[in-house]
Amino acid sequence: MFELLLQKHRYFHVMSPVKKILVPVDFSEMAQCLVRYAVSMARATGAELHFLHVYQAPVVSADAFVYVPDADTLEHMKTNHVDRLRNLVQSECSAQQASIYIAMDGIYGVAEDEIIAQAKQVSSDLILMGLQGSGYLRERLLGNTATHLFLHAPVPVLAIHPKTEFAPFRNVVFAYDQRTFNNKALLRPLRAITDFLGARLHVLSIVSELHDFPMLADSLRSNALDPGFPEDSTSYHILQHDDAVEGLKEYCEENTIDLLTLVARKHSWLSNLLSERVSKKTAFRLELPVLALHD
């Protein structure tokens, strides 16, 4: 069960598509930035924040003897973790003078599994998490936990880089891999977010050779998807580039993009970004929030 920490003048923005945000915190160098971003986002949207720290107990082995902490020791560890989380969150709420609903918990287990289970338990609309790294990623786009959640979480995942400050998204790029969707409603969260923020949506496909993109782009306007995108705030683009990462980087920089959106599925543009090495030459320096939707 989550522990209620703060509930002063609780409010909701009735038009906000995000009502509950699950925020996994691992006490890394990213933690303070993540908590600050979460509190700022909740103030702007009226969402509830559910903070979660997943911990593992040290297991000591000496030859054939294995020591596993008992229940009392595990409960003591949980108390210490939640106290640390409480101090971090309270400090940020005080700094921002935030009056929002906040709950938190510490859970023993495997991070990926517990985050997914908790997202279902609290019926979260979004998982907000931090990305480790130095601002650009030398070998992989995401770490193991983020990769797993991007592909398997039951709700959209928003991941931010270190030092990212919350600001409303004005220009959102949807990296379209030109494949049909099994889940015809998967773009609904993206439509809701862009409508709520009054953002412009850039549907972008990057190809090594040009071909009939307009026909593919039309599929995003059709009634086959729920919902479609409004014509007055949506534009469709195709970019020829031999390197998808470099092409995406250039487009985002040239068009002042605030949010990168990808559809998480196997054998897609996203899976390539997750698995392929990003060379120092291309240096994927996009310090943008990344939103993963699930097909």
Q: Is residue 227 part of a domain?
A: yes
Domain residue limits at 255: 171-294
CA distance 56 to 206: 41
Sign of the C-alpha dihedral computed for residues 237, 240, 242 and 247 taken in this order: negative
Residues 6+ apart with CB under 8 A from 121: none
Same domain, 15 and 125: yes
Same domain, 19 and 114: yes
Final residue of a structural domain among 70, 97, 130: 130
The domain that holds 268 is classified in CATH as 3.40.50.620
Same domain, 111 and 197: no
Same domain, 116 and 213: no
pLDDT for 17: 80
Q: Is residue 225 part of a domain?
A: yes
Same domain, 120 and 186: no
Q: Is residue 165 part of a domain?
A: no
CA distance 98 to 112: 29
Q: Is residue 144 part of a domain?
A: no
Q: Is residue 214 part of a domain?
A: yes
Same domain, 108 and 182: no
pLDDT for 259: 93
Same domain, 76 and 179: no
| Per-residue model confidence as pLDDT tens for the chain (295 residues) | 444 444 443 334 445 788 899 999 988 888 999 999 999 999 988 899 999 999 876 666 556 566 667 778 778 888 898 999 999 999 999 999 888 899 999 988 888 899 999 999 999 999 999 876 443 333 344 456 777 788 789 999 998 888 889 998 999 999 887 777 888 788 888 888 888 888 999 988 888 776 655 665 666 666 556 667 888 898 888 888 887 778 888 899 999 999 999 887 765 555 555 444 433 333 345 678 989 888 7
CA distance 169 to 166: 9
Q: Is residue 152 part of a domain?
A: no
- CA 129 → CA 10, 166, 210, distances in Å? 23, 13, 36
Final residue of a structural domain among 76, 100, 130: 130
Check residue 2 and report its DSSP letter.
P
Final residue of a structural domain among 71, 102, 130: 130
Q: Is residue 141 part of a domain?
A: no
Q: Is residue 254 part of a domain?
A: yes
Residues 6+ apart with CB under 8 A from 289: 158, 159, 160, 161, 164, 169, 258, 259, 260
CA distance 292 to 152: 10
Same domain, 121 and 178: no
pLDDT for 15: 58
pLDDT for 212: 57
Q: How many domains does the chain have?
A: 2
Same domain, 182 and 118: no
Same domain, 228 and 283: yes
Same domain, 73 and 11: yes
